[in-house]
Structure 1
Amino acid sequence: MLGLCFVLLMVALDQTVVGTAMPTVVAELHGFDLYAWVGTAYLLTSVITVPIFGKLGDDHGRKPFVLTAIILFTVASMLCGLAQNMLELVLARALQGVGGGMLVATTFACVPDMFPETAQRLRWQVMLTAAFGLANAVGPTLGGFLTEYLGWRWVFFVNLPVGLASLWFVWSYLPAMRRAGTASKLDWQGGLLIATLLGSMQLLVEWLPLHKPLWLMACLGLSSLAALAGLLWWERRCSNPLLPLDMLSHRSLAPLFGLSLLLGGGMFAVMYYAPLMFQGGFGLSPNQAGLLVTPLVVCITLGSILNGRIVTRVRRPTLLLGLGLLLFAFTAGSLGWVNDATGHGLVAMLMAVGGLGLGLLLPNLTIFVQQSAPREQLGVATAMIQSTRMIGGMLGTALVGVFVTHRYVAGVNALSTEPQWLAWLRDPQILLSPDTAARFEQLTTAAGINGGALLGASRLALVDAIHLSQWLVAALAVFGLLLVRRVPHVELRDVKTKTAVIHD
């Protein structure tokens, strides 16, 4: 369990430190058009690998894949820190996502393997919650501190010692366990179709507002539809499907997968674009922005610990999902009206409320799925709940990125100034780089134009764009209450699931 805690610590630390550092990364490496891709490239490769290794873990045991994933994730982290431009960083993040997907697919499924009894498993999951919470507590602040004082590359290098520690613990102590019976052949065709579907969708969303050639957009759209149709046809006929379609229509599992999809989009939209608003819109330093995001991630842990104490004691535990959605919707909606004059203490309180909501949502989705899924499909079901959250995060981050960029550019174009100055302002990078902003003000002053006023108006345009995106996130969270109503009652009191495993 300590080994698994170190694994989660590494993955969660990476997710929390990167968001705070991203505005500074863009300012140094340039290429704001790839801002969202740093997050979505990781999510895209993760979501493709999660179901594959969830299935492999079910058939062959999880320990070999945990070890391989730790090595891959650690090496990719080093490559991220060594990147010399945004394209290299995106490619390194994609490789890192492969390792992260393997870790997510195997780590969470190890727990019910070792502790099949529900009450016992919930007690042990407090350790995982504590590890996740430690990363959440220090991540944003650590990311801001490292970015401001040592450079943004250290937000990736910090994974190296954690990766080495987790490798030693897992190698030494995680038991080798696999399900009894003959391992079945992996559905590689299904994996290829899933990769084609998600990759085409991602490119279509990213390139649609960039006025790419019509034939290219049409090809991506047709590729997505063809991959979807092919996936549905193949998985119905495959003897060992990578994506069991019966799970998507399962009365208990389907609404949980829908909630996970929605939650992933909202959570990543807040965690990636709130720091952008704090730094680019309000002019705060990376360290200050990290401190404002910290209450959100710290309270995810507090909410998870509170949830672990009450979820087995309430008569209808699914009601906690509705409460979590309402709290998260309140935070997202509140981020839609905060401005640079809002007190930092109030912003921190608003972020803390959202963290409590996520703390009631994230663990319960995993617990309810593991409780409802057939035992022989436990790894696949656990992988799918993580996959749907990643798909939601991938699409949510991309769609919000497209919306924010379009809205910001429209706001800048409405400014009354010459086209040469608008060209400077259309790239939000100018709001994140003090050197670029100073150069702009110097040139505009020489031309007799108030460059400071133009920068101020551009900041307002960025804040307005992010405000609207957060209101959309809040609306989606409220819509999620309809899915909560469709979740059947889940019994968590003294339920024991029998398991057949082989200890190698």
Structure 2
Amino acid sequence: MISHPHEAHSSGQVLPFRESLLAMLGIAFVVMLVALDQTVVGTALPTVVAELQGFEYYAWVATAYLLMSVITVPIFGRLGDYYGRKPFVMVSIVVFTLASALCGMATSMPFLVLARGLQGIGGGMLVGTAFACIPDLFPDSHVRLRWQVMMSAAFGIANAVGPSLGGVLTEAYGWRSVFYVNLPVGLLGLWFAWRYLPHLRQQANTGAIKVDWLGAALIGVGLGGLQLCVELMPERGFGLVTGGLLVMSVCALVGLWQWERRTPNPILPLEMFRNPGLAPLFLLAVFVGFAMFSLLLYAPLLFQGGFGYSPKEAGVLVTPLVVCITVGSIINGRIITRIRQPNNMLYAGFGMLALACLGLSQATRGMSHHLLLGMMLLCGFGLGFIMPNLTVFAQQTAGREHLGIATAMLQSLRMVGGMIGTAVVGTLVTRSYLSGVHDALQSAGAGQWQARMADPQILIDRAAQARLLSQLEAAGHNGALLLEQARLSLVGAIHMGLALAAVIAVLGLWRSRRVPPIKLERAVKPVMATEQGGARG
């Protein structure tokens, strides 16, 4: 651990090269832990649902994680500003790794959802602290962009192996192994963080820091109630339960707005939302989260349930998306410091994302793999041009004193977008699929089979599919035709969801014009203290 003050080096970093390298390796392993989990689980999820029986919880496996992360990211982003980020990074790795083990031991979908919620708490702590360590170590934005190539490489390794690894592990050892793979990565990240990550503080600690627990609770009630309302709407319609949840959610969010204006240490600093430089970046973070998580969650279901690919084949198709996020980030880092208007990279990113989502919304089972790979690649490049720039632009705009909370808010709002995206797209997919299956069965006089085919898991579970086919044939129905119609219903439903993601990406392209022109200026002799004192960038 580094326990003495360091003056910044002329290269714009607060530690010598070797110490910077080892510290960044620690952060890279932490980043890899989160990225590996997201990509591996996405590929395995259709198989998980097929075994644990509960398609109604499909979106909740992702949204439980996101909801808990949304609450914890700003809390620990603020605490990291005061107490230093290292202790929280280490605790978060422990929580995340233990929760991964619990996910692997799940015996039902509700158990898995709860374990994913705990994993979300660890993931939120990681995101709220680990990402803000980088500008602590490298105050100069030019230097930071060069060192962030290591983060891109960490994402690259995790994202390159993640989807395929998820497919291979699921087929060879069962879906539980995709959660257990986090254990060795977590232990390695914990050792590196403990050994090499310095304990840097941005602000002087003059007393006990008050955490806005009421604000955190109101966020949880507001977003959780909204999430539950959207999830229940397809099944129950707008009735007493869903209406009550919606009213509760609105009241909690209004109460949050009023409370945050009065409390001295708000979890959501409202002045940031009024900042003309930060507000549009926050909105773009919501848009990119919506599109990205919709793709990560529903592209594997399209390929496996809709097109009949194996988990391994689906993993190979998803790999270009996640790998090219990394490659795009690296290319972005090389371009953005050399062009006159860095904001243009946001236009390029959202434009590519919109085109790719639109293309995938028209994809068919007969489409060539090369074309599908190309669309996934375009998605990845678009995201790679957007996400690192939102972070660097926000850090540049917020200034050193709000660096941690601004970074945390950006990551948190991206998760809010992901939560909204998976809920809305999930509701759209579920309702459209059920409607299509109902119509097909009614026209064939096989309405009594609705319950058996209401869950798209029947399109993934080959053994259950074979049993259903034989039962349908014995009852005098054309089982193969009915299953094919169900498959077409699922493809059409996911197409609608991806078309919505394309619309959101177009909105992002349009709203990018509201981001003020960013100048990536070089820092002049910044100073960082490890125990107390502010830092100037």
Q: Shorter-chain TM-score category?
A: over 0.9
The answer for the alignment partner of 2:179 in structure 1 is: 156
| Counterpart contact for 1:49–1:98, Cα < 8 Å | yes
Q: Separation in 1 of the partners of 2:341 and 2:57?
A: 44
The code of the aligned residue for 1:14 comes to D
The code of the aligned residue for 1:374 comes to G
TM-score (norm 2): 0.92
Aligned-residue offset at 1:5: 0.4
Aligned-residue offset at 1:454: 0.4
1:333-482 matched pairs, under 5 angstroms? 333-415=358-440, 416-417=443-444, 418-482=446-510
In structure 1, which of residues 88, 91, 114 is the aligned counterpart of residue 111 of structure 2?
Answer: 88
The code of the aligned residue for 2:184 comes to P
| Counterpart contact for 2:304–2:314, Cα < 8 Å | yes
Q: Separation in 2 of the partners of 1:444 and 1:222?
A: 45
- Report Cα offsets for 1:260-315 as digits up to 9, x if no partner: 00110111101110110100011110000000010111111110000000111111
| Counterpart contact for 1:16–1:140, Cα < 8 Å | yes
SS, match of residue 241 in structure 1:
coil
Q: Separation in 1 of the partners of 2:192 and 2:527?
A: 25
| Counterpart contact for 1:118–1:497, Cα < 8 Å | no
In structure 2, which of residues 291, 311, 315 is the aligned counterpart of residue 286 of structure 1?
Answer: 311
In structure 2, which of residues 93, 101, 126 is the aligned counterpart of residue 70 of structure 1?
Answer: 93
The code of the aligned residue for 1:467 comes to H
Q: Separation in 2 of the partners of 1:497 and 1:272?
A: 45
The answer for the alignment partner of 1:272 in structure 2 is: 297
Aligned-residue offset at 1:500: 4.7
SS, match of residue 514 in structure 2:
coil
- Report Cα offsets for 1:375-403 as digits up to 9, x if no partner: 21110000000000000001100110000
1:50-199 matched pairs, under 5 angstroms? 50-181=73-204, 182=206, 184-199=209-224
SS, match of residue 502 in structure 1:
coil
- Report Cα offsets for 1:39-91 as digits up to 9, x if no partner: 00000001110000001101111111000000000000000001011111111
SS, match of residue 511 in structure 2:
helix
Aligned-residue offset at 1:188: 1.6
| Counterpart contact for 1:41–1:97, Cα < 8 Å | yes
The code of the aligned residue for 1:491 comes to K
Aligned-residue offset at 1:501: 2.9
The answer for the alignment partner of 2:522 in structure 1 is: 494
Structure 1 gaps, min length 5: none
In structure 2, which of residues 260, 265, 274 is the aligned counterpart of residue 249 of structure 1?
Answer: 274
Q: Separation in 2 of the partners of 1:281 and 1:84?
A: 26
Q: How many residues align?
A: 504
- Report Cα offsets for 1:361-380 as digits up to 9, x if no partner: 01001000000003211100
Aligned-residue offset at 1:502: 2.7
Q: Separation in 2 of the partners of 1:157 and 1:496?
A: 45
Q: Separation in 1 of the partners of 2:284 and 2:255?
A: 25
| Counterpart contact for 1:253–1:372, Cα < 8 Å | yes
CA change 1:479–1:440 in 2 (3 A) is same
Please identify, of 438-447 and 66-75, the stretch whose mean Cα deviation from structure 2 is larger.
438-447
Q: Separation in 2 of the partners of 1:383 and 1:263?
A: 16
SS, match of residue 201 in structure 2:
strand
Q: Separation in 2 of the partners of 1:405 and 1:453?
A: 21
| Counterpart contact for 1:430–1:436, Cα < 8 Å | yes
Q: Separation in 2 of the partners of 1:192 and 1:349?
A: 43
The code of the aligned residue for 2:46 comes to P
Aligned-residue CA RMSD (Å): 1.3
The code of the aligned residue for 1:79 comes to L
CA change 1:345–1:223 in 2 (3 A) is same
The code of the aligned residue for 1:16 comes to T
| Counterpart contact for 2:236–2:242, Cα < 8 Å | no
Aligned-residue offset at 1:162: 0.3
Q: Separation in 1 of the partners of 2:499 and 2:134?
A: 37
| Counterpart contact for 1:140–1:293, Cα < 8 Å | yes
- Report Cα offsets for 1:211-234 as digits up to 9, x if no partner: 068222232122112111111111
Aligned-residue offset at 1:435: 1.2
Identity %: 56
Q: Do residues 48 (structure 1) and 71 (structure 2) align?
A: yes
- Report Cα offsets for 1:414-453 as digits up to 9, x if no partner: 1123211222222111111111111111111111211011
Q: Separation in 2 of the partners of 1:201 and 1:501?
A: 42
Aligned-residue offset at 1:241: 1.3
The code of the aligned residue for 2:412 comes to S
CA change 1:144–1:497 in 2 (3 A) is farther
Q: Do residues 311 (structure 1) and 311 (structure 2) align?
A: no
Q: Separation in 1 of the partners of 2:501 and 2:287?
A: 9
Structure 2 gaps, min length 5: 1-23, 533-537
Q: Separation in 2 of the partners of 1:475 and 1:189?
A: 35
Q: Separation in 2 of the partners of 1:497 and 1:78?
A: 45
SS, match of residue 449 in structure 1:
coil
Aligned-residue offset at 1:496: 4.6
Q: Separation in 2 of the partners of 1:216 and 1:499?
A: 55
CA change 1:133–1:401 in 2 (3 A) is same
In structure 1, which of residues 221, 226, 229 is the aligned counterpart of residue 254 of structure 2?
Answer: 229
